[in-house]
Structure 1
């Protein structure tokens, strides 16, 4: 033990008070979950008003294993004051080391500790973890699953962090202080009087890791700061900047700490220890991931891989940048608490985990303390200042019913998520709630059977992802808009609490997985969208007709994807899986068809690593990827057999004359993922933005922002249908009328050629079509003026207002009744 009087030490009096509080909580609740809900609020490490650290761990595994209280300590590792947590280069750092004994109460260990340095924006605080001596005399460690900062990743010790100071110094405090007041009406009121953030009018989904070359939250915050400066100065935005505005919300793909590859260099490796010091090789994590492979432990902290400073403040700075725009943008967190990556089991007590699941580990939501911890993790993460929460895969929150012998949807846990109260800048509120839920997925008939309304029916204020927003939608295929009509029609009927739109991280990825060479197993590729596969995919997920349909006509909250707006590549990027990495890459073989042009491969900025392995042309790379996909499938992913099969085609790998090896395949997979991540980074595609297209998309989004009433379901005096027989064109059209109380009394008439040959439309022709439908309201024929006309059609406007719409073109007429 460290004998220095200034070293970390347990404070007996405050610790005794903490234990007394624990006993009081236990005695005041008859329900284990209610007691755990209160106890978990003080787990982790918190700065007290007198500058000490209050720490708590739930330790059921230690108690079950019979580890004596005297063998359990808090290990405190205080770094040099000048340690830069943002540096990605591995370097040796020596930490001052202390072991502080903790007190046990039931299944918990508690203590109030003096001498720990709190972390701030300016410097790294003391790192900490639980440590205990096992029966064989070895020292074992336990991570804090409720940490606020993990600068070297969730597999390293957590950082003691001053989150109160972070909250007190945030620049958007007034945004929260005025929630639910007359000054800023950005929230409604729940039954218990707490404000709840109102839904957005439209939203943009962003992957922070590829949004900028910096790959960080700070990089993205700077972009929004620049946009705000231009808007305040009434300056014209650059074409690429327009792709990020015209929304009043952004949804960030998960910003939680992620799993790490066991085969890659660790970001925390202990080199040597003494009683008073520990030397470790450290680096800011550089994991590549789309965000959903979380370990749950330290979910309450931001992912250090996207913090270029290594400071949690970056997440608050990004939120504040969005809130500080001339027209504030809400920030929605994408929360993936429905499962844990397999390595999550290394960091969590056994009672957190029910067993194996579809995505790694299935969490146990019925265990009272684990259930409470999951909700506390959500609360702490949202307290960074999020306005909304999107619950990823809500249909995956299932628990086991021993009496029925089957799994059931844990809707009560989802309701508990909805009841969590946030507190930011002294203001309590509840966020806008969004669920992704496709139940009865994964039942075979889920696409037909799912209503996508199971949770909005339970929670009247909540939203769900719509059927055309869910993962398996592929608008690059011919007849997509015809065969999906029944789902699109549902959006008109009851989509007011759906997230709509066809472009997001899931759907674009599914589009790149279509095999364009298979003619007999699916509908053909839509030949009207583009001359090549990349152009077709770009147009499928970003075209005027779809944008105008969702933003200028249908109910709900339309969501776009930044990569689709930028017409930038997007794929499944993940270097954190040692076991399945080659299989994951093999499944991306069609990415080359859909996303890579000859000119892209020839560009020196792209595919550097793959080229260094010996691939000299796109055709050569495509041949290898197709063979890899076939071999993985044929061998049921036997890497030795895959390597042997691919050796027969003489791949161009350097040093493969004696045959390809599994190690070479794994190196290839790593090179592929890193190249795709670089290729997909949005900064590379700024100069490719088309001025006219980005201006018109922004104008379309602004059209909706000016008409919040469009979010409501279609009423009886409104109309939405498609022309049939189609005669080669899937033409959607409809009438909407501003409700009483809207700023302007107006009517809108939409017509969109969703796919097919060019067709001429006019208010007269649409009125005549509607007249043949006994259930349709009368469509007026006079007084219409074009309000939005897609670029390809604007040259053929005539009087009376008729327009010829090519594939993916649309028009919206407006009249004042």
Structure 2
């Protein structure tokens, strides 16, 4: 970044062509880089910074591709070109309706240097907020005379998806015009928001105090980052005007960070996703049917190619500017909110192999393709993809599945954790608004997961031990987390206690995109195989699940007492349904839907199914009642399991039920139609806008007060000291009671002590400072807990407090299941 903003970038009347002198300078730079570095990775790191397509100071396009496959295949340099497709000036990239568009077409020869092709090309129109730019891709002629294409894996914009040509986009102009430039410029000053500076002088963004995870695709009925930006802009307007927030708006505030689930370009269903289809072509033009992608996905099924671009499915304008606008909306709040990107570079969907050179891929993996982090240039490209994506303005990065970044050791014949690569990720430098910085670093790492004993064996500290400033997801935040089951809080006590001991650099909390989904996968009809459902949480399964992931006791435990950074999930806050939504895989969609069969038990009420807004597509297939759909989905799950996913056999088995599918016997096509209808209906059902009116004033108001309680006490993030205490009452006598003492450190503003007690599950119990002090006194390892001077600071709605005694002692409180209390005192 930092190019002259006054340069003419229109290229409207310039014919496409290679600029030979400037290209020669680019090739000379390449040779100088190679000669300057003996290490292949060091050289590749410098070279990859100029790959892709960038406007230069003259408004021309500097283009570079790493093309080892072409070189190894013997494709001659004279057969390789940049294909430029310039659209009509009025083409709307945000429209999702398929339409035919004729593009002006040019092929410009590129020049080869080693495994790379480079060129400085005139005539490309740069994309901006207002206008779609020229599309481009590499193309080459085979020995048989056919034309093949190569996508740019380092593109900034892919308006028609990663399987279509990329857009030549003016990312420098986007940076120069972003509304939150002052936010980033302040990072380089000695103002009050100065983050930690590292040994090289660069600022490192400070951790948040608490965080909210959001899925952009279902956060609003618009399913876009623009819609989500409007949510925060409306909140900001209310806060600046001293207006009261609506109950639903409270679910989004009280945090100083939000973590977006991945906003990377996704894989596509080959049979139903057609967002770019070439129809006819001449030397001067190409006509294609185009549409902005409309995919249903939770965000993790990425192809890696074009990772540096925002997912066009969440850009209602089709413009990358929406991502920056959302970030600016968060940074522009009266109390700025940091934005954390969820980076899923640990794997690629199977279709990623169609877009990536062979050297990027090691082979098949758990989630599709296992990437090769040991190949020097591929390794450098992965890091460059991270840098470019984060340069849209993120404050933090959450590395998804860091335990999956593994490589093969030929000497041992085994896979090993590539911690060196994870360290490289940690060293990447961002630059936004002319300010260089490093983001807040978060790893999800449950190694030795997926080894069978991972839950016992994982320390969840492998990376925080290596990187003193980094954070990891905590044990109770990791995937397999089912607080709707009775005894969850008793059996997980040893892990919760660890948070108190060394959780200061853990992300905590029980509700996130993975855990709520795991909760819906519990089979409520086979209780003999596991702990029973907690009967104290609710009268029905949906009520039980809602309360399990959003209750006062858990919220107060993580926000008002324990160390670390508590994270909530927007869907749990809204008590809205959430499941695994994905229509991007034509091979496995029926299996995925079968695995989600219990969603109907846990998330759908009779009244929900009867609501005309919901399950419209499934109803159109003939399902008239929730019970009927449950019967078929339960049978589908069983049939998929026993047939090892033989769709023909599954269809035959379901035909015996005479379900409302097909005219006669059920066919595999009928099952695929059901899966497609299911995914679309669940996505619609899970959209948060539908649940705004269902938010309760008392519940949302109290949760916000709990979060604000932590925001006012950043010192709670630190590990418990020797003069603090956290315990679990023994014997339980029917109640899992957590309790403890926190003391503000000397550096905090003012002296304060907090006494916490929570009925995590079980029958009602009465607690008071006197009784808790007596419990602590029986523990030889506990500090002395004071008994006088306590006053109520937070008490869960519904908890009963009786008046204090005449001697001034604090009131006793009766805590029912999932209720908690915090007393405070000034020592």
Given the two structures, how large is their TM-score scaled by the length of structure 2? 0.98
Q: Post-superposition shift, 1:185?
A: 1.9
Aligned partner (choices 314, 328, 334) of residue 322 of structure 2: 314
Contact residue 297 and residue 582 of structure 2 kept, 8 A? yes
Q: Distance in 1 between matches of 2:803 and 2:530?
A: 37
Does residue 812 in structure 1 map to residue 818 in structure 2?
no
Contact residue 205 and residue 251 of structure 1 kept, 8 A? yes
Q: Distance in 1 between matches of 2:801 and 2:475?
A: 35
SS in 2 for 1:791: coil
Aligned partner (choices 520, 536, 546) of residue 538 of structure 1: 546
Which runs of 5 or more residues in structure 2 are unaligned?
Answer: 1-11
- 2:813 counterpart residue number: 803
SS in 1 for 2:46: helix
Q: Post-superposition shift, 1:201?
A: 0.2
Q: Distance in 2 between matches of 1:506 and 1:624?
A: 25
Q: Post-superposition shift, 1:744?
A: 1.8
Q: Post-superposition shift, 1:150?
A: 0.2
Q: Post-superposition shift, 1:741?
A: 1.3
- 1:705 counterpart residue number: 711
SS in 2 for 1:710: helix
Contact residue 180 and residue 189 of structure 1 kept, 8 A? no
Q: Distance in 1 between matches of 2:437 and 2:547?
A: 40
Q: Post-superposition shift, 1:253?
A: 0.1
Q: Map residues 173-572 of structure 1 onto 2, 5 A cutoff.
A: 173-572=181-580
Does residue 11 in structure 1 map to residue 19 in structure 2?
yes
- Give per-residue Cα distances to partners, 1:655-701, cap 9 Å, x unaligned: x2420000010010000000000000000000000000000000000
- 2:599 counterpart residue number: 591
Aligned partner (choices 674, 680, 685) of residue 674 of structure 1: 680
SS in 2 for 1:354: strand
SS in 1 for 2:386: helix
- 2:748 counterpart residue number: 742
Does residue 690 in structure 1 map to residue 686 in structure 2?
no
C-alpha RMSD of matched pairs (Å)? 0.9
Q: Distance in 2 between matches of 1:696 and 1:196?
A: 33
Contact residue 407 and residue 415 of structure 2 kept, 8 A? yes
- Give per-residue Cα distances to partners, 1:591-647, cap 9 Å, x unaligned: 000000000000000000000000000000000000000000010000000000000
Q: Distance in 2 between matches of 1:237 and 1:91?
A: 42
- 2:3 counterpart residue number: none
Q: Map residues 758-769 of structure 1 onto 2, 5 A cutoff.
A: 758-769=764-775
Q: Distance in 1 between matches of 2:34 and 2:192?
A: 41
Given the two structures, how large is their TM-score scaled by the length of structure 1? 0.99
Does residue 774 in structure 1 map to residue 784 in structure 2?
no
Q: Post-superposition shift, 1:765?
A: 0.4
Q: Map residues 4-83 of structure 1 onto 2, 5 A cutoff.
A: 6-83=14-91
Q: Distance in 2 between matches of 1:176 and 1:744?
A: 31
Q: Distance in 1 between matches of 2:802 and 2:65?
A: 70
- Give per-residue Cα distances to partners, 1:46-90, cap 9 Å, x unaligned: 000110000000000000000000000000000000000000000
Contact residue 764 and residue 816 of structure 2 kept, 8 A? yes
Q: Distance in 2 between matches of 1:419 and 1:769?
A: 47
Q: Distance in 2 between matches of 1:180 and 1:351?
A: 39
Q: Distance in 2 between matches of 1:119 and 1:567?
A: 40
- 2:644 counterpart residue number: 636
Which runs of 5 or more residues in structure 1 are unaligned?
Answer: none
Q: Distance in 2 between matches of 1:451 and 1:582?
A: 36
Aligned partner (choices 640, 649, 659) of residue 665 of structure 2: 659
Contact residue 797 and residue 803 of structure 1 kept, 8 A? no
Q: Post-superposition shift, 1:794?
A: 4.6
Q: Post-superposition shift, 1:795?
A: 5.5
Contact residue 180 and residue 187 of structure 1 kept, 8 A? no
SS in 2 for 1:111: strand
Q: When the two structures are aligned, how many residues end up with a matched partner?
A: 812
Does residue 154 in structure 1 map to residue 162 in structure 2?
yes
SS in 2 for 1:687: helix
- 1:166 counterpart residue number: 174
Contact residue 180 and residue 188 of structure 1 kept, 8 A? no
SS in 1 for 2:341: strand
- 2:5 counterpart residue number: none
Q: Distance in 2 between matches of 1:499 and 1:29?
A: 39
Contact residue 773 and residue 784 of structure 2 kept, 8 A? yes
Contact residue 13 and residue 123 of structure 2 kept, 8 A? no
- Give per-residue Cα distances to partners, 1:133-158, cap 9 Å, x unaligned: 01111000000000000000000000
Q: Post-superposition shift, 1:519?
A: 1.5
Q: Distance in 2 between matches of 1:255 and 1:177?
A: 25
Q: Distance in 2 between matches of 1:265 and 1:215?
A: 18
- 2:93 counterpart residue number: 85
**Structure 1 stretches (4+) deviating beyond 3 angstroms?**
794-800
- 2:796 counterpart residue number: 790
- Give per-residue Cα distances to partners, 1:767-802, cap 9 Å, x unaligned: 011110011111000000000000011554544410
Aligned partner (choices 105, 117, 122) of residue 125 of structure 2: 117
- 2:113 counterpart residue number: 105
Relative to structure 1, the CA distance from residue 635 to residue 73 in structure 2 (aligned partners, 3 Å threshold; closer, same or farther) is: same
SS in 2 for 1:30: coil
Contact residue 800 and residue 815 of structure 2 kept, 8 A? no
